[in-house]
Structure 1
Amino acid sequence: MNRLRSVPQRAWSDVAVLSALSVLGVLGFETSFGDYNFLLAGVGGLIVGTGVALLGYALRLGALVSVLAAIVAYFLLGTPFTMPDQGVLLVLPSLTSVAGLAIGAVFGWADIVTLGTPVEAPYYMPVLPYFAVWLIALVGTMLAVRWLPRRPRTVWRSSVLLAGPVALYLAGILMGTDEAYYAAVRGIAFGVIALVWLGWRRSQLEKASSAGANRLLRRKLVGTGTLILGTILIGSLAGSVLAPVQAERFVLREEIQPPFDPLQFPSPLAGFRQYTKTLAETPLFTIEGLETGQLVRLASMEAYDGKLWNVAGVDGAESASAGFRLVGRTIPDAPLITSVRSSTVTITGSGYADVWLPGVGYPSTVDFDDRASSAQAENLRYNAGTGTAVLTSGVKSGYRYTTSAAVQQSYRDEDLVEVPVAAVTLPAAENIPDVVVAKALEYTGGAVTPVDQLRAIQKALKTQGFLSHGLASDGIPSRAGHGADRIDELFTRSQMVGDQEQYAAAMALMARSLNLPARVVMGFAPEVPDGATSVEVTGSDVTAWVEVAFEGVGWVPFFPTPDQTDVPQDQTPKPKSVPQPQVRQPPRSDNQSDDLLTAIEIDDTKKDDKDKGFVLPGWAWLLGGTVGIPLLLILGPVLVIGALKARRRRRRRGRGSGDTRVAGAWDEVTDGYAELGFEVPRHTTRLLVAADVEAQLDRQVGPGAADIRLAPLAELVDRAVFNGQPIGDDLVEQSWADALESLHLAETRVGRLRRIISRFRLRTRRDWSRVDLSKSRRR
C-alpha cells in the first residue's frame, strides 16, 4: 500500500490565507468582464493549482514533476471552468478548448487592455483569470508546504507567499476600468488578512509554558483587534486625505492604443456607385423587423483628406471613430444618443460582401444565430461613438445575426433653435475647395443658429440640384467620386448634378467650414410595404446622409440629396471658368465605362478536387485533436523523464573506471527506490542504507519483500570500491545485474499506483539528501 505524506499542519492555514487573498484579487476583473463568469474561471484555477500542489506533496513527487502534472491538469480540467461550450459534453477538452487554454494564457493579457468592456470575445478570454489564479495557487502552495516549513519563520519569508496575490490584485486594478469594484472593501479586507496572518505566524505559542502561552495569546488578540481597527481608520480617513478620489483612475486600457486600424479597409463611400450600377438589382441581405421609414446604418465617416470621406484611423486618437474595440455579444452604450425606444432586427446576408456590418441605430447586443457566422463573432469590432461595426473577416453569404439597438430620437427644428452644437472633437477636414466655403456662406445668408444654417444648406442643395447616378437611363452624365475635384465640379457646372455620395459629402464639408461637427453616414433606405415582416435590400436602396451633433440631443440627420431627376433640356451643362482650388487635385479614378462587362465564372471545382488528392475529413482532425492532445500532455512528460533516466543509466554504466561503474550501479538502485517513494538516507554507509530500505520494504510490502535484499549488493560495491584492486568488466556487469533485478522486484511488489507515479519522478541527490537530517530533527 502506498503511504501518503501528510501536509504540515501549519501549511493549511497558509494555503487558506493564500486562497482568500487570491479570490479578493481576482474580483478586480469584474469591471472588465461585466458578469461573474470570470469568477468561476478564477475559482477553477484556484482548485486545480492548489489541488495538484497538495497532491504532488502527498505523493512525494519532486517539484519538477509536480509542475508537469499541474500543466497536464491545467489543460485537462480547464474546459468546464472557462469554455464549456467549446468542450465535449461541456466538461471534456476539445481541440478548440485546448487551443484556447494555450492562447488565452499568452495573448489574453494584451487582449484585455485593448478590447471594449464588457470583454466577451474572443472565446478564450475567461482563460486569463483561470491561468493567473492557477499559477499563483500552484507556486504559493508549493512554497507553503515544501519551502516555508523547513526554515525559521520570518516576516520576509512569509511575505514571499503574498507576492502572487498582490500581483493579482494590482492586475485587477490596472486591467480594469475607471469604475473600481468595491475598492475600499476589497482593499481593507486584503490588508487586514495579510497583516494579521503575518503577525500570527511569526511566533509559536506551543513553545511557551501554559501561563505564558495564555498571556501571549491575550496580547496577540488585543494586538490583532488594534491592528484591524487601525487599518480601517487609516484606510478610510487618512487615505481620503493623502490619496483623494480622482475623477479618472489610471488603467492600462486608457493608455494602450488599440491595434486595429480601420484604414486598412477601403472607405465605404468610395464604393457607392458599385451599388447603384453593378448591384442595383442584386439582393444584398434580408432584414426582418424593420419599420417603415427606418434606415439601415452601414458606416459613419468623420475624416476627409481631399480625396475621400473615411472613418478615422488610429492616428486620429482624439476622435470618436478611432475607438474601434473588439466586443462580444454586449456592446458599449453610445455617447450623445437620446433614445426613447429600441429596435430589434434580424439580418440574413446573401449578395452583400464587405467588412462593414449593416444594422439599425446604435446596437446594444449582437447575436450571431448560425454556426457559420458565430464562429467569426470574435472578429467583431465596434465604435460606440459612430455606431459603426466591422467584421474583420468579412460578412459572407448565409451569415445571420440579430441586433437590438437604440434608435436616435427625432427633433423638430423648433426644438433645436436654442440648442448649440455639441463640443465633440473630430478629425480636421483637409483640402476643402474654396468654392465650398463660398457656397456655404452664400447659402446660409442671414442664418444665425446652427440648425438654421444647416437647414439653409440642405434646402439649397435639394432645390437647386438634380439627382443622377450616372447611368445610361439618367440622360445626363454624373461622375462618381467625392474628392475635392468632384465637389468643385458639382458647384462650378451650370447645374448641380450628382447623387447621395456627392451631396452628402458636399453638405458635410460646408458644415465643417462653418465649424459645425458634421459627418457623413452611408447606409440603405429600403421601402417597407405595409404589413411586411421582412424586406429584401438591393443595391438600389443605397443612400448617404449627413449627421450633426447637438448638445444634449445627439446626432441629428440631414438629407441634402434632391428628388429632381429631369435636368432642363435647354441648359447644356458646360464647365465655367472659375479659379481652381488651392491644392492640386488628385487624378480621376473612375475611368470605368458605364457599360460594364458581365464577369463569367468557370467552375473548375472538380479539377481542383482532383489536384488536391486525399483530404483528411474534419471529424478525423477533431477526433485526433480531442484524443491526441490529452495523450500527448500525459505521455509527453513520461517520455521526457524516461529519456533523462536512460541517459543517466548509460552514463553511470559506461563511463569511468571499473570501481566508478560499480558505484554507479548502487546509485542507480538507490535512485530507483527513491523514485518508488522509499526514504533513502544519505551521508551514511551503504550497509545502513540497505538495512533501512529493507526495513521499509518489510513494513510496506510485507511477506512479498522477503526475496528483495540490498545488503549483498552493498557488500559487493563496498569491496569493489575500497579494495584498491582493478575491477574487471565481469564484476561490473554482475553488480548492475543485481541492482536492476532488485529494482525490478521492488517495482512489481509495491503496486501499480506507485509504479506509475515513479514514471513521473526524476529523483536527484538534492531531493532526498536531507531525509536523515529531518528524522533526527523529529526525534
Structure 2
Amino acid sequence: MRPDPVPLSRVQRLALTAASFLLLATAAMALGPLIAGSGWWWLCAFVAGGVLFAGAGLRALRTPASLVPVLELVVLLALLTLVFGGGTSIALVIPIQGTFEAFGELMSGAQRTIEQQSVPAIPVPPLLFALALGIGLLAFVVDVLVQTLRVPALAAVPALVPVVVPGFIIEAGAEAPALVLTAAAYLLLLRVDVRVRRRARLAAGAEGDDAATVVPPNRVPIVSTLGASLGLAAVGLLTASILAASTPSISSSLLLGSPSQGTLFGRGVSPFIDLGRDLRRPEASPAFHYFARNADRPYFTLLTLDEFEGEVWGASDAAVDGDNTVDAMPRPEGLSDEVETSEHAIEVVVDEVRTTWLPVPYPTSRIEGLNGSWFWDEGSLSVRSVDTNTAGQRYVATRLEVDPTVAQLREASTEVPAELERNLALPEEMPAIIADTAAAVTAGTTSRYDAAVAIQSFLRSSQFDYSTESPVADGYDGGGFDVIAKFLETKSGYCVHFASTMAVLAREIGIPSRISLGYTQGAPTQERVDGVQRIEVDSHDLHSWPELYFEGVGWVPFEPTPGRGTVPGYSRPGAGDGTGAAAPSTAPVTPGASGRPELDPDRGLAGQAGGGATANAWWQRGVPVALVVLLVLLLPALLRLGQRWTRRRRIIKGERPADAAWDEVIATARDLGAGGDDAETARAFAASVAEREAFGGAEARAALFELRDAVERERYGPDAASTAAASALFDDLATVRAALLADAAPAVRARALFAPRSLIDAARRALGERPSLGA
C-alpha cells in the first residue's frame, strides 16, 4: 500500500482502471439475488465504466491531478442525467433544475420500492436510479484509492458494500460464486498494482538513497508477492462470507424482531407485500392485545396499498398533513348517511410490535392516549407517526362500524369519482388469463356487488388451496401480474395471492380496489377485565385482504383467502335473498371471533418445539460475531505469515534470495524490539545483534554473519557475484530467527505474533508519505 515516488505511464494507469472496473462489476453481481433480471447489472457496469474510464482519459490528457476526482463526479452526474433525466436536461447530459427535481422524485420512489417490494425486486426506474447512483459513487471512491492515493488494497472496502448488502435483506446472504469472483478480481487488482509499480520503478531507475541500498531486479517477479496477496484476498473472502451469512435480514428482523433494542432491528412490521416468509416462521411473536365489548372483533389495518409501481403494489406517498390529528378523524370517503353505523371503543395495548404505522380498525373516528405525534392519511385513514413508533403505546381507538345492506351495495352507482380513478389503473398489457378469468367468473352477474361476491366465492372454492410453500417452490411468490397469472393456473397460494388477485380482477371489471395490510382479529383468551375479554394478536395473525369501493358505502372489505379471518355477512352468497348461504370453501372457515382456528394452515407451520428458536439464538448470532472478532485479531498474524511465505518463495526462486532472507531477519528483529531500523546498515545491525545473549553460541553467531556477508555481496558486489545456496540461506535464517525468539520474553513473542511491529511501521509510513507523482 506504499505510495510510489515515480509516475505511471498511460498504459499502466489504464491497466489499473480496467482491474478496478472488473472488481466493481463482479462485486455488483452479489446483488443478483435481490433484483430480478440482468438489465440492472448492465446499467451498473455502464455507469461504473463511465466514471472509471473517464478518469483514465482525463489523466491521459494530463489533467491536473487535483481536478480529476471533481471531473469524475461531473461525469457521473452527466451519466445519470443521460439515463434518467434526459427529457428535463439540455442536450441530454446537462442537468437543470427540473433534472434535480426528477432525481429527488426517483430517490423518494427508491425508498418506497425498497420498503415495499419483496425479493427479488422488480427493477423499476427509482430502484435503478438508486443502484446507478450507488455504483457510480463506489467507482469514484475506488478510483481515488487506486489512482490518486495509490492504496489499492483499500479498494476492498467499497467493493465489499454490494457483497455485504444481501446479508441485510435475505437470510442466505450473497451467493458463493459472487464472493469467489469478487475475491479473484480483488486479487487481480493487487497483482496488477504490483506489476505496474515495479515496471514504473525499473523505467525510472534508482535514484538518491535508493541507489545506495536497493538494486532493482532485471525483471519483474511474477510470484514475489503472490502469497501475501493471496492471503489478503482469502482473509477478505472469509470476512465477507461470515458477514453475509450472519447479518440478520431486515425484512425478517423488522417483522419478528430480535433481542436488539435498536430501531432498525427492533420488533416491528415490515410493509412488504410478501408476507410468506413471516407466515412460514414456526414461532409467533406477540404483537399487541386489545379489549373490546360485545364481541367486537375487527381487522386491524397498518398500511393500505392502492397503486402499482411497475408490477408491485405500493402505497401512495402522500406528505403528512399537520392538521390531520387523530383526536378527530373524518368520515370515510364515499360513505353516505343512509348507511347504518355505530361506534365501538377498543382499548389496544402494544406488546412487541414496533413500527411507525399504528394498527387501527378501518374506519376509526378518533384515537386517544397516544404518546408522540400521530396523523391520519387522506383516503386510507392509515395512522402514522413522524417522531415515535408503537413501542409501549396504550390507546383507545373508537371504531366506526359500517353495516351496509346488500341492497345498498347492489344499488351503488357505477360512476367512479375522479379521485379514485387511480384505483382502477391497470397496465395495457397483462397476461390473458386475468381478463379471461374475470369475464368467466362474473358472467351472468347483474351488478358490481354480485360480481365481487362471485370473485370472492371463486377464490374460496374447492378449486383453490391455501399454501405458503407452493409459491416459493414454484417461483411465483409476490403480488405482480405474472405472479397472479401463475396463481390462477396453479390455484395454490396464501393471503397475498388471494388478496392481490381479487383486487386485480375487481379492477378488470371496473370496481376500484386496494389492499390492506395488517392483522386479523386475533385469538380470545380466558382473561377478562371489567367483564371485557382480552384478545391476543401475534405475528401469525399478519394478513392482507382486498377492499372494494362502492359509491354511497365507501371502501368495503372482502375475505377471499380460505381458512383465514371471517367472511363478512354482506358478502356471503345468498345474503340478499334470504338464503344466507355460506361462501363455498373446503378450507375451514374461521368460527366466531377467532382469527385463527385450530385447523388454520398457519397453525401447521411449526416445525420444531417452542423453545427451539430461542435455544439456538445464542450460537446463530454469537458464533459468527466471535468468528469475526477472532479473524480481526488474527489478521496481522496472517498477513505477517503471508509475508514470510513470500520471502521464502523468493529464496527458492533465486530472486535476490539473500536480500529476501535478510529482510525477514530485520522484520523479525523489529517485531521483537531488537533493532532493525531503516537507517541501520547490515553490518551495524549484525554487530549490534551479535552482542545479545542468545548469539553467544558459535552456531547462531556464524549464521548471522553468513547472512550478513551474503546480503552485502548481493547488494554491493558485481552482478556475477555468487550467492549462497537456497538451502544454506534457509538454515542460517532458521538459526538466526530461533536465536532472536529465544532472546525475547514470552510476552514480547506474543506481541510480535499478534501485533507485528514491522507491519505497523510499514502502514504508518504508507499513510504518512505523499502520493506518487502524477496521481
- TM-score class normalised by the smaller sequence: 0.3 to 0.5
TM-score, structure 2 length as denominator?
0.35
The higher radius of gyration belongs to 1
